[in-house]
Structures are given as C-alpha cells and as structure tokens.
Structure 1
Amino acid sequence: MTLNSPDSLLSLYTLASSPDHQASSQSSSDSSHALWTAELMRETGLKCIGFNGVPRTINMLNAFHSGLPKPIQSALAERKPRRNLSTRNLDATLERGRGLWSSIYRGFDEKLVAKLAQSHPDLPVHIIESEYGALFSDPPSDSSPSIPNVGRVLTSIVAVSCLRAQTGVGPQVLSHVFGLRKAFGDGTAEDESEVQGGKWLAGDEGSGWLLRVVDEIVGAIGEGKGGTFAPGFGEGKEKAKL
C-alpha cells in the first residue's frame, strides 16, 4: 500500500489466500478463506488512509478489487458499510478513539494532545476522533467470523510498517513500536483474537525483525531506489509523534 504497488498487493493476496496459509480456526472451505483474506486485506488497506493518505489508498484499493477473482468481488459487494456515524453511535465511536489513543500512547497521551494542539487546536481533535475513533478502531460487527476485524495488535503492526516504508518519520515509527508493546502491557491484546507472532513482534528481537523486513520489501519492490514517499529534508530533529 505505502509503495503504491498494486501488483505486489495482489501477489500478497494470492499467497495469503492459498490453503497453505489458512489458519486452523477458520472455515475449511477454500472459498471462505479466500473471501476472509480479501476482507482482512481491504479492511487493513482502509486503515492505511491514516498513514498513507486518501489518494494513494483509493488507488490501491481500486486496483486490489479489480484484480480479485469475480466470485470474491461479488461476495464483497454484499458487505454493508460499518462506519456510518449517527446520533446513536457517535458517543461510542468517540470513546473508542480516546481508548485506542490512550492505549497506544499510555503515559504520554495527554502531554501529546497538548503538544499537537499547539500546532493547531483541531489537530488532536481530528486525529483522535476521526482517525483513531472512526478509522483505526474497529466498529461493532455482528461477530460473524467471515468478517474479520484488524484489531489492536495488527493495527499497530500496520502503523509501524507503513511509517517505516515511508521514511522520514522516525519519531512516529518509534511511537508505534512502543504502541505495539503497550497492547500487551495494558491487556488490550488479550481482548481480541490472537495475532500469530504478535507478542514476539512486540519484543526487542521481533521489532528489529519487523523493521528489517519492511526495509527489505521496500528495497525489493523499489528495485533499490527506495519508496515513493519523500523522505524529508534538513537535519533538524522531528518532534511530532503521531
């Protein structure tokens, strides 16, 4: 997603949707697994809006859908939106956003809100309410196993991966590395389905491995030229930690 490479995303889907990568807890049906994988990947892609921006996410999700098998496209077309805001769910959405923010930045959450507000009073408002509440946190569902949620742990892994691939946003990468660890420290990781290897990735060895693998993927897809995000200019120390 971050590298704007639709072919790579579809290759990943082909690999992830194969029977060899089907978790034992999922349905034994190959078609169900293929649909579940497509659901998870596009739900993850949607959350990338907060890291990669809207235009790139639109392009990638459009290309992803176009490259899926027709039966999967038809099944996905039956899904209804889950993030509509209304007077009935607004308070719950805002609460989810504040809860996720506090979990990721535990110990620094209020200080960071004040720091962001210095730049613009609506900056923390938008980030916490619109990004963390309406986007990064998973909306309520009917608990159907065929509609996967990304979850707290995988959302942090996605954040680290996207930001590392961008380059130039080191403080934000570090913040989300620690945010991943805090998911296991505050118990939020225990409230969702286990992410295989998630706890290991939250440790020193796993975090280092995750960063190296992202760098290797960027190098392979970018043919040694790096990613397509500007790395930033100047040698001043970055202060923001989003």
Structure 2
Amino acid sequence: MWGPSTRPQLWLPPNPSNVHKTTRTYLPRDQPVMSHQDKSPDMSKLSAPLKALINAPFARPGPRPAPQQVQELYESIANDAAVRNLGIRSWLAVSAATTFTLNSPDSLPALHRVASSKQPDSAVQNAEFIREVGLKCIGFNGIPRTINSLNAFYASLPEDVSSKLSTTPSRRPTPENLETTLKRGRGLWDSVYRPFEDKLLEKLALAHPDLPVHILSSHYAALFTDPPPAERGSLASVGRVHTSLLGISCLRAQTGVGPQVLSHVFGLRKALEDGTYKNDIDGETEEGLQYLASDEGGHWILNTIDKIVEAIGGSSFAPGRESKL
C-alpha cells in the first residue's frame, strides 16, 4: 500500500483554458508543434551579443586613426626626397602604399595636400595617382583595406577635385584584349624574377596548381601592369619602377614577409638592368632611378616606410595579442 509520501503522482495536462495557471507552457490543441526544421529566424538581424563580438576592441575592427603630426611626417619625407633629387611620384608611391597597408584612410587627405602643395594645379593628378596606388595594393594587401581607404579618400576630396576624377574603367577584360593583357603580365613577371622566372612558377604550381595561374592572370596581368594609354584615359599610370616601390612598401609595412621584400628590392633593380623602366619613367630622372636601385636608395626606401609605420602605430596585419596565460 502506498503511503502519502510514496504514492506515484499522476500528472494530467490542464484544460487549455487554464494554461496560464501552470508553470508549463502549452500550445493550443489545434496548433501543431514546430520542429527545428520549421523555424524561420529573421536572417536580416543580428543579436546584440553577436554584434558586440564582431566589433570587440581586441579584434581591432576599425581603421587606424591619423596621427596628429601626420602632415608634418609627409612633409619631411617630401623634403628628404627632394634633397636626393627624387621626383614627387617616387616618395608619393612609397608613402601612399604604406598608408594603405597600415589601414589609415584618415591619413590619406594629408598626404594628398602635401603632394599637391609641391606642384601647382596638380591636385587632380595626385588624387588619381593615389587612387591607382591603392588599387594596385590589392595584389599585396587584399581587397578590404583598399575598398575602405579609397572610399574614405574619395569622400575627403574637395568637390572641385573629385568631380574631375575619371569614372571610366580601363581594366575590363574582353576577348580582344585578353591575349595582350596576359602577355603584358608575363613580361612584368619575367622582368621582376629573371633568371628564376620559370623555376619560381614551377614551385608555385607544386604548392597549388592554380596559384601561378591566379598570380599571373589576376595580379601581374590585370592589375600590376597598366593598360595602354588609349584605354587608360585620364587614369594615372603607376609604372614599372613605382609598382616595385609599391610592392616593397606594402610588404615591408605588413611585416613577416621578408623573402618577398627581398624579391621586390631585386625586382626594382631588374627594371634598370633590363631597361623596362624606360617605358614609364613617370617624371623620375635617370639619376633618381639609379639612386633608388642602389644600396643607399634601398636604405632610404625602407627607412621611409619604417618612419610611417612607427608614426601611424605599427603594422595592423594580424598583430599579436597579449596572452592571458
């Protein structure tokens, strides 16, 4: 016989009209139970905790701010370059590429002002050049930094400058230009890496068969080389020498890719060695190009990059986080 404390307790569902009086929750008898597969969450909204995690300070989700003395920094670089008889576009290529790499879009307007102050009526041309440098940085830094920085740079420009910038694309592939574009890219590759151009492609293919295909067709052909003047319109040219300066700047500012920095330092020298620099001197003198390719010029390039990195706050490419252990 069951005692009062041992008797099994039978539980019956209450009448639906009295559901609110119990701690259990019931659906109306005529409403089917929804399975996990039947649920349709609102995919257009994120929860507050997920938003907070995306923008957590330790993940450094935003760009680096411009340092207070950034204009003075660029002015000192410009003056130093002038003492060495270097053209504006050489120091501008180094400074712009480093700034794009460091993800500091607010520093770009100051760079543009300094460059434009050195040449009357050059604001539009300098803006076009900075834009083209930013575009080519995609091949070294990836797409997002260039998108964010170019958007911010365009928004910062005075209307009398931004309204005169080109709006016509020049790199759209067509059946008619594909062969010449690929040939142009292979020519740049050979110039940078000769005499190891073929051996390097073979090594890349061992890592992944599509790696050399992508590098040659999507970067060297479609991005690092410039379309012919007839197709480029008023867009700026960042030629053979300045593309090497751009590559050195991006890679040095990233940190952690010393072998690639070394390759592009040699690549700059190859431009003089094989004469490809003659196709696009871009306002630089022969003396200036010889200096850039020398040991002393190499020191100047790397030291200039390092000054900008230090001023803006160090590399933002996957910087280490302090261990909590």
Q: What amino acid is aligned across from residue 105 of structure 2 in structure 1? A: P
Q: Secondary structure at the match of 1:14?
A: helix
How far does residue 142 in structure 1 lie from its aligned partner after superposition?
A: 2.6
DSSP-derived class of the 1:220 partner: helix
Task: Note the C-alpha offset of 1:143.
Answer: 8.5
In the alignment, the residues of structure 2 paired with residue 104 and residue 174 of structure 1 have an alpha-carbon distance, to the nearest angstrom, of 11
Q: Is residue 69 from structure 1 mapped to residue 158 from structure 2 by the alignment?
A: yes
Find the aligned partners of 1:142 and 1:61 in 2 and give their Cα distance: 24
Q: Partners of 2:151 and 2:233 in 1: how far apart?
A: 25
Asked if the contact 1:166–1:231 (Cα under 8 Å) also holds between the matched residues in 2, the reply is no
1:189 paired with 2:277, answer: yes
The one of 194, 198, 204 equivalent to 2:295 is 204
**Distance in 2 between residues matched to 1:144 and 1:168, nearest whole Å:** 35
Find the counterpart in structure 2 of residue 9 from structure 1.
Answer: 108
- Determine the C-alpha separation between the residues in 2 that align with 1:59 and 1:135: 18
Counterpart amino acid of residue 167 in structure 1: T
Structure 1 runs of 4+ with >3 Å offset? 143-147
Shift in Å, 1:8 = 1.3
Residue 40 of structure 1 pairs with residue 40 of structure 2: no
**Residues 19-78 of structure 1: CA distance to partner in whole angstroms, max 9, x if unpaired?**
xx22xxxxxx61xx11111111101110000011001110010011010111211111x4
- Is the 2:184–2:221 contact (alpha carbons within 8 Å) kept by the matching residues of 1? yes
Report the counterpart of residue 50 of structure 1 in structure 2. Answer: 139
Match of 2:199 in 1: 111
In 1: Cα distance, 2:305 partner to 2:199 partner: 30
User: Offset of 1:114 from its aligned partner?
Assistant: 0.5
Q: Distance in 2 between matches of 1:200 and 1:231?
A: 33
Taking the TM superposition and a 5 Å limit, the aligned residue runs for 1:114-193 are 114-142=202-230, 147-193=235-281
Identity of aligned residues (%): 60
Q: Is the 8 A contact 1:152 1:183 kept in 2?
A: yes
1:78-117 equivalence runs, <5 A: 78-117=166-205
SS of 2:163's equivalent in the other structure is helix
| C-alpha RMSD over aligned residues | 1.7
Task: Give 1:148 deviation, angstroms.
Answer: 2.7
Tell me the residue number matched to 1:239: none
What TM-score do you get using the length of structure 2 for normalisation? Answer: 0.64
Superposed CA deviations along residues 189-223 of structure 1, whole A, max 9, x for unmatched, are: 1122342533211111100111111111100111x
Contact 2:192/2:266, CA 8 A, preserved across alignment: yes
Unpaired stretches in structure 2, ≥5 consecutive residues: 1-99, 321-325
Contact 1:3 1:228 (C-alpha < 8 Å) held by counterparts: yes
Q: Which residue of 1 aligns with 2:32?
A: none
1:94 to 1:39, Cα distance in 2 relative to 1, 3 A: same
Q: Which stretches in structure 1 are left out of the alignment for 5+ residues? A: 23-28, 233-242
Q: How high is the TM-score relative to the length of structure 1?
A: 0.86
